[in-house]
Amino acid sequence: MATGVQRLRVAVPKDQVVERGKTAADYFDVLANNQGITEEYLYAHQPTTDDRIAVYSTNSVPVGWLDDSDNLRTEFTVIEGPVIIVARKGYAGRLFVVADDNLIVHEDAYAIRPKPEYIDKLALAWFAGHYSFEFQANRTSMWGIGDFPRERMKVIDVVLPTIAHQEEAAALYARRDRLLGSISALRSEAEDRVAHAAGL
């Protein structure tokens, strides 16, 4: 679950609120995910061409790729990005944006897309950055194997600000994430140097 700085959210000023009193389920459609994509399946079906589609699970880094083909699109549901991926397992409730033209979502996650009437009123990067911690806090269990089933979207109250505020806040969230990534990389480098100096 997100901690510390990752929990901080850019406050929505009252004069920037467009709508309130609705849940995430009112704003987003849930898209189909796919079963049967195991590590063994991905290993046995490694891409042989540059025309490939990424498979996403609970992390913004793809778990693998598959060759794009008619057979693939018959066997699995391929969706068009950009979308927000909601992790169901592991870091249940984690939100991240995938902007790929085409993607496949593993059964341990699912994708959400703004309903047609909200396509131009929701900045995906803002929503993922603003509500990720709240989604994670509403998973089925804080210990062991938690889950964030689709029904949980009905309990996440959403305050919708102007698109201008969303875009401004999304830029701040992106900056925060870059800084945290840099800090993590520096910490890892420092630990490696200490271990090397100690002969470990």
28-78 pLDDT tens trace: 999 999 999 999 999 999 999 999 999 999 999 999 999 999 999 999 999
Tokens of 58: 């609970």
H-state helical runs in the chain: 24-27, 39-44, 70-75, 124-137, 163-197
139-161 pLDDT tens trace: 886 555 568 888 889 999 999 99
- Closest listed residue to residue 132, CA positions, set 113, 100, 154, 156: 156
- Closest listed residue to residue 85, CA positions, set 101, 76, 98: 98
State yes or no: cis peptide before 82, omega within 30 of 0: yes
Report the C-alpha gap between 131 and 157 in whole angstroms: 10
Give the CATH class of 13-197.
alpha beta
Give the pLDDT confidence score for residue 143 in this predicted structure: 54
Q: pLDDT band at 1, cuts 50/70/90?
A: very low
Domain segments of the chain: what residues? 13-197
Specify the pTM: 0.85
CA 71 to centroid of chain Cα atoms: 27
Give the pLDDT confidence score for residue 22 in this predicted structure: 96
Residue at token pair 């592991």: 90
Residue at token pair 């004069």: 15
Give the pLDDT confidence score for residue 4 in this predicted structure: 59
Those residues with Cβ within 8 angstroms of residue 87's Cβ, 6 or more apart along the chain or in another chain = 57, 58, 59, 93, 94, 95, 108, 109, 148
pLDDT above 70 covers a percentage of the chain that reads: 92
Report the C-alpha gap between 53 and 62 in whole angstroms: 10
Question: Which amino acid is located at 154 in the chain?
Answer: K
- Closest listed residue to residue 135, CA positions, set 158, 114, 166, 117: 158
Those residues with Cβ within 8 angstroms of residue 71's Cβ, 6 or more apart along the chain or in another chain = none
